[in-house]
Amino acid sequence: MTFSPGHLQSHPLPPGIVGALGLAGYQLLAEVGGVGAGRLGRQAFLVLAADPDPALPDPGTQIALHHTKVKSESEVAAFKQLAAQLGYWRLSGYRLALEREGLRTNVSVVDPATGAVVARIPARHPGLMSFSGAGNAAGLLATLRALPPAGPAPDTQDPELLRQVLVALALQDESTGGAEAAELADRALALSRADRQLDPPAALAQARASG
């Protein structure tokens, strides 16, 4: 499943959700494959576009893992990295099944080969009630990174798809912001076009070194 870059910018959260949750003017920190990390003040959350289904009406952009009391920048970075990993797995074949829970949404990561749910992203962040870390952004990120690929790597012959892969890889570094990741991806994409032997990680490493 692929989404054009900037999909969530042009398809933001619906006004009703934004107004009810007090998220007017939220910032989209990063976006890969129709999955993004949003922030407004101490609130952080995932923003997701549902897989299109011609048999159903468009459910619109949705919000998951809503955390209302982020305390540190490392927590925000975990949301950004989690969004990038979810987006990358979606580009690689995993499906994201979205289930509404009031204004927010639970997300199941589904292995298309077996139909099994391999990870679940809750509608709300557990906050201070989470001592194990299993349901917070950092714990979920570790779970996702441990999953095997669902299928072949994304087709890097498609420049638009390759750019999203490069953004996802750039965001694996928690110190890299969304704007910087996009710039790195653009430079790495140009390097990949100039040298077809470069794989995405190598192109990204060269782009960092040249920057």
Q: pLDDT per residue over 133-164, tens digit each?
A: 567 899 999 999 999 887 766 777 788 888 88
Q: How far is CA 43 from CA 54, 75, 119, 145, 200, in A?
A: 33, 10, 23, 24, 33
Q: How confident is the model at residue 57 (pLDDT cuts 50, 70, 90)?
A: confident
What's this model's pTM, rounded to 2 decimal places? 0.84
Give yes or no: residues 89 and 183 share one domain: no
Give yes or no: residues 118 and 194 share one domain: no
Total structural domains in the chain?
Answer: 2
Give yes or no: residues 61 and 93 share one domain: yes
Give yes or no: residues 133 and 188 share one domain: no
Q: How confident is the model at residue 129 (pLDDT cuts 50, 70, 90)?
A: very low
Give yes or no: residues 140 and 164 share one domain: no
In a domain, 87, yes or no: yes
Measuring CA to CA, which residue among 6, 107, 20 is closest to residue 68? Answer: 20
Question: What is the extent of the structural domain holding 193?
Answer: 159-210
Give yes or no: residues 105 and 167 share one domain: no
Question: Given 88, 122, 145, which residue is the final one in a domain?
Answer: 145
74 vs 156, more confident: 74
Give yes or no: residues 139 and 164 share one domain: no
Phi-psi region of 193 (alpha: psi -120 to 50; beta: other; left: phi over 0): alpha
In a domain, 2, yes or no: no
Give yes or no: residues 141 and 163 share one domain: no
